């Protein structure tokens, strides 16, 4: 018996494809700050990134975030994103 459809997402930092549950979802809050979406239900455009420290560090170093989130405003990366314990 098949398990059904398993959603696959791509890491915006390194480009690896993994299941949705293995990646961390990021969204922009009202102040254009990038935050973790722990429950996966926050409003707004989301993007997925690996939980690896190297992928988290790359986020603030390039302008890929502006293209992904379709904004020209400066996106600030929340320090809580780099926590690997799953807390927001």
Q: What residue segments make up the domains of the chain, in order of their start?
A: 8-81
Task: Convert the pLDDT of each residue in 21-70 to its tens digit.
Answer: 999 999 988 888 888 998 888 888 899 999 888 888 887 776 788 888 88
The model's pTM is 0.79
Beta bridge partners of 8: 19
Range with the poorest average pLDDT among 17-21, 47-51, 84-88: 84-88
Q: Which fold has domain 8-81?
A: Hypothetical Cytosolic Protein; Chain: A; (3.30.1230)
């Amino acid at each position: 018996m098949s398990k059904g459809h398993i959603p696959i997402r791509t890491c915006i930092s390194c480009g690896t494809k993994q299941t949705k549950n293995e990646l961390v979802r990021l969204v922009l809050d009202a102040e254009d700050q990038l935050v973790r979406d722990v429950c996966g239900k926050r409003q707004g455009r989301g993007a997925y990134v690996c939980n690896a420290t190297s992928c988290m560090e790359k986020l603030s170093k390039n302008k890929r975030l502006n293209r992904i989130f379709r904004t020209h405003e400066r996106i600030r990366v929340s320090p809580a994103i780099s926590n690997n314990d799953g807390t927001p």
